Each structure stands twice: as C-alpha cells, then as structure tokens.
Amino acid sequence: MGFYIPRAQRFCTSYPNFRCLPDSSGLWLKQEPPIMADPYCLLEPFRMFAKFNHPYLLLTLTTLFWSGNMVVGRAIRDDVPPLSLAFWRWVIALALTLPLALPHLRSQWPVLKKNWRPVVALGLLGVGGYNTLAYVALQYTAATNAVLLNSFIPIATIALSWAFLKKHLHGIEWLGVLISLIGVSTIVARGQLATFASLTLNIGDLWMLLAVIVWALYTIGLRWRPVGVHPMLMLAAFTVVGLCALAPAYAWEIAQGRLIYPTLPALAGIAYTGLFPGFAGYIFYNHAVGEVGASKASLFIHLMPVFGTLLSAIFLAELPQIYHFIGIALIFVGIYLTTSKKSE
C-alpha cells in the first residue's frame, strides 16, 4: 500500500494562495489558478495526463496498483526473496520521491528534527514493516488470501484503537468486529474448523495478519505525525527510516544465500512495486483525497478484494473457493456495522 497523509488546515497559513473549504473529511485545499504552478499539486509529475485526473479514476487506479502489488509479490517469489523485494521497492520509490521532497527539506527540517520519534516509529511501521511482512507472507500463501485478509485492516484499526486509545465501542461495533473476525478465521482455516483443532494453519496467513496489525498501528500512529510537513517530504522521511531498518535485514538475507535471480519478470516486478504501488499510488491517492475527502476515498479500498481476486485468477491461476466468498462477505458485513451511521 501507499501512504495517506491528509493535507489539512496547517498549510493554509503558510500558503495564502490556498482557500480552505470544508468537506466531509475536514478541510481540503483549493488554489486559485494556475493550479499546476502550486508546490502542493501532487499530480505535477503527471500533468501530461491531466485529462485523466478525475479523482474516482485515480482512486480506482490506486487500488488496482495496490492489488497488483500482492499478485506481483506472489508471482516473483522464487526469483526475488521478500526482503530484497521490500528493499528495492523503497529504493525506487525514494529515488522518484526525492526530487519532489528536497525543495521542502531546508525550510521544514526543524519540524522533522523536533518530531523525530513519531517519524521513526511511522517509518518503521509503514515502510519497514507492512510491505515486508506482506512479501514474507506471499512466500507461503496465495495472493487471493493475502488481499482478502488485507480487507481486515479497518476492523483491526478499530480494535487496536479501543485497546490502546480507549476508544469507546458501541454494541453494534463490537458485533461488527466479531463478525469480521469470523470472516478472517474462515479464510485462514480455509473453511475447515478442523484446521484450528489440528493447528495446521498456513504460516503465510499468519504473517499477513501480522502485516495487517502493523498497518493498523501505522494508521493509528498518524495522529502523531509532524504538523506542517509537505506530504512528499514526509513520505521521503518515512522511506529513509524504513530503508535504514531494511538494509541490515537485506544484508542478512544475502548472507543466507538468498539472492535475486535477475530474470526479466523479476526485474519488471521490482520496478512495478516501486513505481506504481510505492510512488504513483501515493500521489494519486493524496490528490484524490484532496478532491473528494477521506470518507469517500476510503470506500475505494474495498475494491482491493475484487481486483486482487481477478488479477490472481488471471495471472496466477488462483481460482477463488467458496470459503473466500464467505470470508470476505463476513468481513464486509463487519466493516459496514462498524462504520454505519447507526454505530456512530
């Protein structure tokens, strides 16, 4: 996945050519023409495709990129070890991000330096943790399983918010969490309750659930991110932290004799993960959130199981089973119950 760091009111005082207008997610930023001249226009690198920058199209492409990340990770698992894939994915993303981030470094470095603790924590979780664990999971489990278990992130975030932030949950929300847990259990057990009794769970599914928990913690931790830092500089800072953590792990993997086999599909897969899920998806998602708000944008994440299942069937011949449909249906019911107006 990419990173969503909302653009909010904090930028308005620094950039008077913006007008701050309310929407369903809080504040969004609108600039007087010409819009492409503004440093906060995250689609500047893609302005040649301006006629295709409708927010709903960008959100759809973003979820397609993120779903493809799981499929690619599974497809090239024999040629690219998981830590190698995670490391080079973020090297590519950082190389693409730096030209957009460095112009803001000098003026905003004091803010980053003052808030180094949350930057380090979020970089470790979001860059060093989530995708690395997901790539490890894809060594052992199907991409279909991974992308469906990924849908549990909203529920995991709510549950962890209750555990660590003492967020109050109503009865209907607890019911939603329980139903979603049953859905996850259905996928992990592959529809067979005897799987739990015999303790023959797929280790890949457990790694993916750990990745989900890490991303939920990252999401919760965003409330402590530094205020007043440009989104591209924030992404670059998180990426540098994550790469510092991944570098020794990558070196250890090489020492174990697990090397990249530089086949054309392997190199293309690495390039894809860095360019599309790691870089373009982040820019597209942030731009779209600025247009339609976080509430509407978050709904598009639910396209990931659809895209992931289709891509897995087309490219990996992973045909979904009945327990996949039952499990994802239960997860969606749980998400609806925990996010419905009635529960609020």
Q: How far apart are CA 161 and CA 175, in angstroms?
A: 16
pLDDT at 38: 40
* Residue at 150 is within a domain: yes
Token pair of 30 as six digits: 């609108």
* Residue at 270 is within a domain: yes
- Residues 44-73: pLDDT tens digits? 555 545 555 788 888 889 989 999 999 999
pLDDT at 34: 33
Average pLDDT, the chain: 79
Nearest CA to 53 among 311, 280, 275? 280
* Residue at 35 is within a domain: no
Residue with tokens 């330096």, as numbered in its chain: 113
Parts of the chain with a pLDDT under 70: 1-52, 169, 190-191, 193-201, 293-296, 298-299, 339-344
* Residue at 126 is within a domain: yes
pLDDT at 196: 54
How many domains, the chain? 1
Q: How far apart are CA 284 and CA 42, in angstroms?
A: 8
pLDDT at 75: 94
Q: How far apart are CA 246 and CA 266, in angstroms?
A: 20
Residues facing residue 29 across a β-bridge:
20
- Residues 229-278: pLDDT tens digits? 898 999 999 999 999 999 999 999 999 999 999 999 999 999 999 999 99
pLDDT at 276: 95
- Torsion angle (degrees, nearest 10) of CA 142, 148, 150, 154: -170
pLDDT at 298: 65
* Residue at 328 is within a domain: yes
* Residue at 36 is within a domain: no
- Torsion angle (degrees, nearest 10) of CA 145, 151, 153, 154: -160
Task: Provide the whole-model pTM.
Answer: 0.77
What's the DSSP call for residue 21? E
CB environment 301-327: b (16+ within 10 A), e (fewer): bebbbebbbebbeeeeebebeebbeeb
* Residue at 21 is within a domain: no
Residue with tokens 């390039």, as numbered in its chain: 271
Which helix (H) or strand (E) element contains residue 280? Answer: none
* Residue at 205 is within a domain: yes
Range of the domain at 186: 59-339
